[in-house]
């Protein structure tokens, strides 16, 4: 349930609402918004009795939140969340962003050359993995701490903000020193220990969708981050498991308008892992932006065939420039970034 207060309510009125929610055995979580003051009731297992809340001073109304996810729901927050990564804004009316870079951090000179290349091509953020979750224990696992230090040097020398994957809750503090946007990989989407650790860090999170996760499971994973204190979350569709054998995964672009309807969080698309072939990445990048994605994350390299990992799906810098120009054209399409109106549920409060 969402408790809506007058826009000019007093601090004491807000405190009284929060106390009442606690006395009812639930947890109040304030929901920021430009046009209203709202408090979300969480922790209830069934319907919430609105009567003790509606009679309090300052309360305008209570609204039932019909979905099992509360804080990420558009029922709870109508306005799009805009996530800031340095001065790059993701979500809302911001132009779609392009995150680009190699799958893995490589030698310092190669990594820096790639960063300079994708920046010159128009990418907004640099992504490279220092810790790589690999299906085989015999495959390259990433350069670890040395890779993180390389990423910091790239940030110093190019000014680009850094995106990189965190695979272990014990690494969160050190990752936060070197990384501006912490990526949770598809395999870790439901690693709840990791999500809870990331909820406490002062960094935005890029939450990839698990290869077999439903939209609801994905949003519930995001709910962990918000419920434990971090509302700077970007969702990322990266393809789901498929019977098709012509692509690495099936890029589920159906999910993009669905996310935008159901959640206020920004959603970006990873066409590289979604399709798995470099020659097809640009086509799916266009499709993702046309579907309403708030951005893309694309694996790119100055010498793609020699990339340490995921070479087959890694594009060259010229392709990044092509994607940048496609994005500019598509962003001007009417309604690409239009948010669907919210239909409020009428089911019992939850
Ligand atoms: C990656 O981004 O390189 C990666 C491992 O992606 P995912 O978690 O989507 O498989
Ligand atoms: Mn990869």
E-state strands within 166-323: 181-184, 205-208, 233-237, 267-269, 295-299
Please tell me if the CB atom of residue 227 comes closer than 6 angstroms to any atom of ligand 1.
Answer: no
This prediction has a pTM of 0.93
C-alpha of residue 344 to centroid of ligand 1, in Å: 35
Identify the pLDDT of residue 130.
Answer: 98
Q: Which helix (H) or strand (E) holds 255?
A: helix 255-262
Calculate how far, in angstroms, residue 77's C-alpha sits from the geometric centre of ligand 2.
Answer: 33
To which residue do tokens 């549920």 refer?
345
Q: Residue 336's pLDDT is what? A: 55
Distance of CA 189 to the CA centre of its chain: 11
Residue nearest to atom 3 of ligand 1 (CA): 103
Q: How many angstroms separate the most distant Cα atoms in the chain?
A: 67
Centre of ligand 1 from the C-alpha of residue 28, in Å: 35
Q: Is 100 a pocket residue for ligand 1 (Cβ < 6 Å)?
A: no
In whole angstroms, give the CA distance from residue 211 to residue 216. 13
State pLDDT tens for residues 98-116: 999 999 999 999 999 999 9
Q: Whose CA is nearest to atom 4 of ligand 1?
A: 185
Atom of ligand 1 nearest to the CA of 270: 9
Cite the beta strand spans of 36-136 per DSSP E: 37-42, 59-63, 83-85, 88-90, 97-101, 125-127
Q: Tell me how far the alpha carbon of residue 296 is from its chain's centroid.
A: 11
For the CA of 206, the nearest ligand:
1
pLDDT value for 46: 86
pLDDT (tens place) for every residue of the chain, 350 residues total: 999 999 889 999 999 999 999 999 999 998 877 777 899 999 988 889 999 999 999 999 999 888 899 999 999 999 999 999 999 999 999 999 999 999 999 999 999 999 999 999 999 999 999 999 999 999 999 999 999 999 999 999 999 999 999 999 999 999 999 999 999 999 999 999 999 999 999 999 999 999 999 999 999 999 999 999 999 999 999 999 999 999 999 999 999 999 999 999 999 999 999 999 999 999 999 999 999 999 999 999 999 999 999 999 999 999 999 999 999 999 878 655 544 444 444 333 34
323 sits in which H/E element? helix 317-331
Count Cβ atoms below 10 Å from residue 7 Cβ, excluding itself. Answer: 11
Q: Which of 186, 212, 248, 311 maximizes ligand 1 atoms within 8 Å of its Cβ, making it the mutation to test the pocket? A: 186
pLDDT tens across 248-289, in order? 999 999 999 999 999 999 999 999 999 999 999 999 999 999
With CA atoms as reference, report the closest residue to 295 among 254, 340, 252, 331. Answer: 331
Surrounding ion ligand 2 within 5 Å at CB are 103, 310
Q: Whose CA is nearest to atom 6 of ligand 1?
A: 185
State in Å: Cα 142 to ligand 2 middle: 11
Instruction: Please choose, from the candidates 130, 181, 184, the residue with its C-alpha nearest in 3D space to the C-alpha of residue 160.
Output: 181
Burial of residue 326 (CB within 10 Å: 0-12, 13-18, 19+) is middle
Write down the H helix ranges in 71-187.
Answer: 108-121, 145-158, 172-178
CA 313, distance to chain mean position in Å, is 22
- The pLDDT score that the predictor gives to residue 346 is 37
Residue 76: predicted pLDDT: 93
**Which ligand has the nearest atom to the CA of 297?**
1
User: Which atom of ligand 1 is nearest the CA belonging to 310?
Assistant: 3
| pLDDT value for 348 | 36
């Amino acid at each position: 349930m969402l408790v809506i207060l007058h826009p000019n309510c007093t601090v004491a009125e807000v405190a009284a609402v929060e106390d009442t929610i606690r006395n009812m055995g639930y947890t109040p979580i304030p929901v920021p918004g430009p046009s209203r003051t709202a408090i979300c009731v969480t922790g209830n297992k069934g319907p919430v009795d609105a009567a003790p809340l509606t009679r309090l001073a300052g309360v305008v109304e209570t609204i039932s939140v019909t979905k099992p996810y509360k804080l990420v729901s558009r029922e709870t927050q109508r306005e799009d969340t805009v996530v800031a990564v340095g001065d790059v804004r993701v979500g809302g009316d911001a132009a779609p962003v392009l995150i680009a870079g190699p799958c893995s951090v490589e030698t310092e000179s190669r990594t820096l050359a790639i960063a300079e290349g994708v920046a010159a091509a128009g990418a907004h953020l640099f992504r490279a993995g220092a810790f790589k979750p690999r299906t085989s224990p015999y495959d390259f696992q990433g350069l670890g701490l040395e890779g993180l230090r390389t990423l910091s040097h790239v940030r110093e020398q190019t000014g680009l903000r850094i995106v990189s994957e965190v695979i272990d809750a014990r690494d969160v503090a050190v990752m936060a020193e070197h990384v501006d946007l912490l990526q949770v990989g598809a395999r870790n989407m439901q690693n709840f220990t990791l999500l809870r650790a990331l909820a406490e860090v002062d960094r935005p999170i890029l939450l990839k969708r698990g290869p077999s996760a439903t939209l609801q499971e994905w949003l519930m994973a995001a709910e962990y981050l918000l419920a434990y204190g971090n509302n700077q979350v970007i969702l990322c569709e990266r393809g789901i498991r498929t019977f098709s054998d012509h692509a690495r995964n099936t890029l589920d672009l159906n999910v993009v308008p669905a996310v935008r309807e159901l959640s206020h969080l920004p959603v970006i698309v990873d066409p590289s892992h979604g399709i798995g072939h470099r020659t097809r990445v640009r086509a799916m990048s266009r499709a993702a932006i046309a579907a309403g994605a708030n951005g893309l994350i694309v694996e790119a390299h100055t010498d793609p065939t020699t990339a340490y990992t995921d070479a087959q799906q890694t594009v060259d810098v010229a392709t990044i420039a092509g994607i940048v120009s496609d994005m500019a054209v598509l962003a001007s399409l009417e309604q690409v970034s239009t948010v669907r109106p919210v239909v409020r549920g009428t089911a019992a409060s939850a």
